[in-house]
Amino acid sequence: ITDYTGTTYRLRDATRGLGIETYDMNTGTSYTSAVDFTDADNNWTGTNTAQDEVARDAHWGTETTYDYFYTKHGRNSINNAGLKLLSYVHYDVDYANAFWDGTRMTYGDGDNTYSPLTTLDICAHEITHGLTEYTANLNYSYESGALNEGFSDIFGTSTEFYGKPTSQTGNWTVGEEIGAPFRSMSNPNLYGQPDTYLGTDWYTGTGDNGGVHYNSGVINFWYYLLCQGG
């Protein structure tokens, strides 16, 4: 869903909650300098040297995540009051990360290893950080932070299974579409994560905010077993 100004189409959707909007950072880091993505014919499937097609991916990924929470859980955006979901694409140069900052989602274009981080499971992962902030507000460190990360993987994967076209299917890895997966929910040990509390690969250091991206493997594996059995 986009809107039309009378002369051009923009990645703005007013049909879900208070809106879904996607903006172009133009490889900068200033949000006030971000601009609309525009298209003359509303066909967003073409590619160009700036990889603007990933803006379509982020926009669709956000719409699909909204639909998942609304359809499956009866929730109107992450605050259940229709909060406008803002996405900012083409953040910085060679930036292989994506994040929720308390206000919006931001997506880098990747680097020599990873392609742009606007896949469906990553979009839903970042949006779920916002959901967690509005609901549980888990402190982002050590075990509470690992739960925070785990819930993002859980809902990211759930949204992927929900939103993938019928010709495709969801899966239990995270990030596989950007060059290489970096977590597995069905086998966390495969990427150096524990699948059991205090088990193999349990992280005890202070790095990564106390291992939030490592020890999340425990709840990830719990969710995999909940869904698949074992």
Q: Nearest to residue 151, comparing CAs of 100, 85, 110? A: 100
Which one is catalytic: 59, 90, 129, 213? 213
Cβ-contact 207, 171 below 8 angstroms: no
Return the amino acid letter for 132: T
Q: Nearest to residue 227, comparing CAs of 160, 154, 136, 168? A: 154
For residue 49, the tally of other CB atoms under 10 A from its CB is 5
Q: How far apart are CA 121 and CA 214, in angstroms?
A: 18
For residue 73, the tally of other CB atoms under 10 A from its CB is 11
- Report DSSP letters for 6-69, one per residue: SS-EESEE-SSTT-EEEEE-TT-S-GGG-EE-EESSS------TT-THHHHHHHHHHHHHHHHH
Which one is catalytic: 59, 63, 90, 126? 126
Cβ-contact 149, 213 below 8 angstroms: yes
User: Is there a catalytic annotation at residue 126?
Assistant: yes
Supply the residues annotated as catalytic: 126, 213
